[in-house]
Structure 1
Amino acid sequence: MKSNEISRRHFISTAAAATAGVAISGISSPVFANSKDTSDKLALLGGKSVRGDKKWQKWPQWNAEKFDPKMKEVMSSLTWSRSKNVAEFEKKWAEMHGSKHCLSTVNGTNALSAAWMQSNIGPGDEVICSPYTFSASIFGILYKGAMPVFADIDPTTFQIDPAQIRKKITPRTKGILPVHICGYPSDMPAIMKIAREHNLFVVEDACQAHLAEIGGKKVGTWGNAGCFSFQASKNLPIGEGGGILTDNTEYYDRLYSYHNFGYASGSVSGQISSISALILANKIRMAEYQAVIGLCQMEKLEEQHKIRNENGAYLNEKLAAYPGVSPVKLHKGATAASYYIYAMVYNEDKMDGLPRKRFIEALNAEGVPVATGYPNDPLYGQPMLKEVFASDIYKKCYSASELDFEKYKQKNHCPSLIKTYNSALWIWNGGLMLGTKSDMDDIINAVDKIHNNVAKLK
């Protein structure tokens, strides 16, 4: 047996025994076809990196020979505002998800805001939100004067925990905002069961979860609305862009009117040729050249989605052998993630106390782009909310006690979220999950190398 096989077996067994009282047995290097001798000096300590000079796939990707003529056509037409290309993009995005309607917007933030703006929530109402997300997720809730209430996550899936949602329901609860963070599906069957029981409006933040699914049903089609981002890093990159899916035609009509100055649309009816605004609205229309980029990117999306899931499953299987990292789990029933981000949980206690920061430095040095994800700055404690609570409309609609920011933070504290902030690992590079099996093996070899040399890192 090679020396590195002996050392890795020794590490795995002793680390597991120290934390769980049980040694992991039956695991030995190599654990996959392209494993390397990882007893070499770590790159962080002056050794050669696992990746060497190899590059990850660039993102976004663009086939200039194939797609430049399509862009030239739309630019030469001088029809740049919303027209036939936007309509085609919406039709294809809806069909790809099995949804009746898609409304495109200038970006995902506006998609989320519009979805809530055309809901029936308002001042005094509460919306239960996932706390593991970006601030833009809740803008629309605040625009409507409603109160975001945060339910904790399941730290093994990173998704809002349905059991915690139930604990937060009050007579004032009117909606739920699940966020399919990193591209992993939230437990929508359980969430929708709660929503039906309490007549709650559900907006899915699927901005990171293109084509993820549960039992073959795509995320973004479970709730009343599903919102997507097509920002440059996303799995369908346009640069900027957003979309809202819904099966409710009346709601879609209001969304369409809202994104177009409030003009008449379908059931939002007015006089023919009237340019009078019928509802308080916005102008957040997608442009024709945005839609053309999206249509071009859509041509390979399903093929890329398949590759991402194959690579995700491969990494999940192989990395499960390492006690220092735990791949984020798909909840029971989820049949595909988008793997916008490949996420893991760092187990410091199983790495002989090696700080996560040091592990990240070592993995980056081996050529694997990994970071902590969102900083330890809970959304329910951000200054934005304190400013909103000081506004006249919130002061008129809520008691002083409800707007006491320190009390609000305590009431919404999510222990599992904090645990995740301090243990999450995000491997994030747009083209990385489209790599070859050899590329995935480099990730596994890098993790193996660090496990094999943890004492030297300390």
Structure 2
Amino acid sequence: MKTINRRHFLKASAIAGAGLALAPKLSFAQGTQSNNKPVLLGGRKPSYNFSRWPIYDQTEEKALLEVLHSNKWGRLNGSITTKFEAEYAKIHGTAHSLAVSSGTSALYTMFGALNVGPGDEVILPVYTFVASYNVVVLNYALPILIDTDIETFQIDTKKMEQAITPQTKLLMPVHIGGSPADIDTILAIGRKHNLPVIEDACQAHLAEWKGKKVGSFGLGGAFSFQSSKNLNCAEGGAITSNSKEFIDRCYSFHNQGQGGTGTSYEMGSGVRGTNLRITEFQAGLLLAQMSRLEQQARKRSENAAYLTRLFNEIPGITPAKLYRGTTNSAYHLYMFRYDQSKFAGLSRDRFIEALSAEGIPCSRGYGQMNSSDYVRGLASNKHYLKIYGEKTMKEWLERNQCPQNDKLTKEQSLWFTQTMLLGERSDMDKIAEAVRRIQKFAKELKK
């Protein structure tokens, strides 16, 4: 698949002054130069101040008070959730949206609507948050973990098709970090094998593929409003879809198998349901937070593109690439790779320590989920042994080998979170300058 660097896709856009005032600020000490020593070697510690996240003002306060005084706090007798769903569908260009209690609930609800269960296989990336895996095993289906395209951090679609068997129930790509997976290729695989595609877009608010928002391509898309997300209400989620029949089944599943009246069963005999409803308070907060969503998204994109230009000039720092169809990344995460050979053999952990001392939080990101005790333990789970048998579960462990992901996560992967990209452009200069400073003194930092 062809990929492009982040710097080639950004469209120039201006941010209103009010939006700039709301953005978190990164403040570093003035006069920092590349010949100054890093903090770990006795250099001056930069001053910095991350603004709180989430960002809020009287808009959120008013929204919460309106729900409080309405005496209608739940979606079954309130109207705010319905209003939010209409707005959320509108910004994603989908016919329908359903608000639920979390991003995990959004995925779980869609699995319920599709009646995923024992004997089914679900294809998903190994490089993802564990919730993507959990929704599969909660249904006693078999998660088939696919290796990573190391340049993009996304699912490797070449290996995706190879993993399909007669038991495959659906394809579940994840738009990890807020950057779209290779949607065109994935949809083509789904059509070829007559398999539905569910987009895990929990980190990808307003991300775009060829000018269309993610979550609008597959049968359904899942979004998360957990407290770290670009749009959040502490916990919450949503499903987007262009299929009324599918969204109706999702509504019934998340509402105890009943329709909107709470009296008639909609799902049919023997199909499960549960309570995964969102509250009116959460929906009100989300409507308030959405008033800043587009401004913040533009700010992240501008800063990410600029930071990428700076990082491309530093040997050993390689920003994650975007597929050619990407017209916007949500940049929930700014992902990049680290090559210690270009830093005099300075280990990745020591690099993170040095960068953190400079006042720049940095993470290794996700690990080797397929080889974790948590996931490997599924092979000895008594319920799975009863359903699939010992031979199948041993084979499952072998199927989940992901060597490229091992290489990425053991040696190279790093990321910044989305709040780092809500500062000023000068902050991006200072981040890059800190990396150059660490590189210059890498030999001394090793000691």
- TM-score, normalised with respect to structure 2: 0.88
Contact 1:103 1:243 in 2 (8 A): yes
Distance 2:374 2:88 in 1: 36
1:328 aligned to 2:320? Answer: yes
> 1:324-358, CA deviations, whole angstroms, 9 ceiling, x for partnerless residues?
21111111221111111111101112222110011
Q: Give the length in aligned residue pairs.
A: 411
1:93 aligned to 2:83? Answer: no
Within the candidate set 226, 244, 260, 1:249 is matched to: 244
1:439 aligned to 2:411? Answer: no
Q: Give 1:78 shift.
A: 1.6
Counterpart mapping for 1:18-29 below 5 A: none
Contact 2:60 2:289 in 1 (8 A): no
Report what 1:68 is aligned to. Answer: 61
Within the candidate set 283, 289, 295, 1:303 is matched to: 295
Q: Give 1:303 shift.
A: 0.9
Q: Give 1:441 shift.
A: 1.2
Within the candidate set 137, 146, 155, 2:150 is matched to: 155
Q: Give 1:408 shift.
A: 2.8
> 1:354-400, CA deviations, whole angstroms, 9 ceiling, x for partnerless residues?
100111111111111101112x34246443563475233x3343232
Contact 1:117 1:143 in 2 (8 A): no
Report what 2:199 is aligned to. Answer: 204
> 1:384-442, CA deviations, whole angstroms, 9 ceiling, x for partnerless residues?
563475233x33432321123xx4333211011111212111112x4221111011111
Distance 2:258 2:233 in 1: 27
1:79 aligned to 2:75? Answer: no
> 1:109-133, CA deviations, whole angstroms, 9 ceiling, x for partnerless residues?
1111111121144322221110011
Contact 1:151 1:414 in 2 (8 A): yes
Counterpart mapping for 1:408-423 below 5 A: 408-422=396-410, 423=412
Percent of aligned positions with the same letter in both sequences?
40
Report what 1:47 is aligned to. Answer: 43
How well do the aligned residues superpose, as a CA RMSD in angstroms? 1.9
Distance 1:179 1:224 in 2: 14
Within the candidate set 228, 231, 235, 2:230 is matched to: 235
Contact 1:174 1:199 in 2 (8 A): no
1:391 aligned to 2:386? Answer: no
Contact 2:311 2:317 in 1 (8 A): yes
Distance 2:49 2:374 in 1: 39
Distance 2:371 2:191 in 1: 26
Q: Give 1:94 shift.
A: 0.6
1:313 aligned to 2:309? Answer: no
Unaligned runs of 5+ in 1: 1-33, 266-271
Report what 2:414 is aligned to. Answer: 425
Q: Which amino acid aligns with 1:397?
A: I
Q: Which moved more, 1:79-88 or 1:168-177?
A: 168-177
Distance 2:399 2:210 in 1: 35
SS of residue in 2 equivalent to 1:335: strand
Report what 2:16 is aligned to. Answer: none
Contact 1:35 1:445 in 2 (8 A): no
Within the candidate set 203, 215, 219, 1:220 is matched to: 215
Q: Which has the larger radius of gyration?
A: 1
Unaligned runs of 5+ in 2: 1-29
SS of residue in 1 equivalent to 2:40: helix
Q: Which moved more, 1:133-142 or 1:300-309?
A: 133-142
> 1:225-267, CA deviations, whole angstroms, 9 ceiling, x for partnerless residues?
11010011100011110001111111111111111111135xx
Distance 1:150 1:240 in 2: 26
Distance 1:36 1:366 in 2: 11
